[in-house]
């Protein structure tokens, strides 16, 4: 069975509810997964938006969340997950707000896609200190056994402009 990631809050390709965005409570959505391959030592999660700033003319991928060294005993993250609540060695990297936390969808224009990318790794990552997405991707190179992606979309209502 392949690695799969899903959310009880939105369907694949569906709209992410407002409460998980900057227009709401900016909480991370609940996520769950299964099909972790044999030999997996840790999991990593990157949430990013390739449609920034404008889907009609994207210029960059905006990083919303970077987590790594998630233990293989974990099969889900609750809503509003805080790594510190688990007595484990989960690492948090830096998002594009320069914070080590979840940052919800907050697109300046148009409907953006948010990729929730789960990686099964054959190792636990050592020596990373508040890594950026690029740092984490470098550290994961050659260690990814499988990857799964959940895509959600978000468009701000015009009332927020």
Residues 6+ apart with CB under 8 A from 68: 42, 43, 44, 45, 90, 91, 92, 93, 125, 128, 131, 136, 139, 140
| Residue 18 placed within a domain | yes
Does 23 fall in a domain?
A: yes
* Main-chain dihedrals φ then ψ at residue 145, nearest 5 degrees: -80, -40
The number of folded domains in the chain is 1
Task: Give ∠ CA 78-83-84 in degrees, rounded to 5.
Answer: 125
* Tokens encoding 58: 């994207």
Residue 35 lies in a domain: yes
Residue 160 belongs to a domain: no
Q: Which CATH number goes with the domain that contains 42? A: 3.90.280.10
Q: Read off the pLDDT of each residue in 59-84 and give the average, rounded to a whole number.
A: 94
For the stretch 2-43, pLDDT in tens is 999 999 999 999 999 999 999 999 999 999 999 999 999 999
Domain of residue 91: give its range: 4-155
Q: How far apart are CA 11 and CA 23, in angstroms?
A: 20
Say whether pLDDT at 86 is over 90.
Answer: no
In a domain, 19, yes or no: yes
Report, as an integer, the average pLDDT of 75-86: 89
* 25 in a structural domain: yes
Burial of 124 (0-12, 13-18, 19+ CB in 10 A): middle
């Amino acid at each position: 069975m392949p690695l799969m990631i899903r959310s009880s809050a939105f369907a694949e390709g569906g709209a992410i509810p407002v409460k998980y965005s900057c227009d709401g409570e900016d909480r991370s959505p609940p996520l769950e997964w299964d099909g972790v391959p044999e030999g997996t030592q840790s999991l990593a999660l990157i949430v990013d938006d390739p449609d920034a700033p404008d889907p009609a003319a994207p210029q960059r991928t905006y990083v919303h969340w970077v987590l790594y060294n998630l233990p293989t005993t974990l099969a889900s993250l609750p809503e509003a997950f805080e790594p510190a609540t688990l007595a484990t060695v989960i690492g948090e990297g830096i998002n594009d707000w320069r914070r080590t936390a979840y940052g919800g969808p907050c697109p300046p224009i148009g409907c953006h896609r948010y990729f929730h990318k789960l990686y099964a790794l054959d190792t636990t990552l050592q020596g990373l200190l508040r890594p950026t997405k690029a740092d984490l991707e470098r550290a994961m190179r050659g260690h990814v056994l499988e990857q799964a992606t959940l895509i959600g979309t978000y468009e701000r209502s015009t009332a927020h402009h």
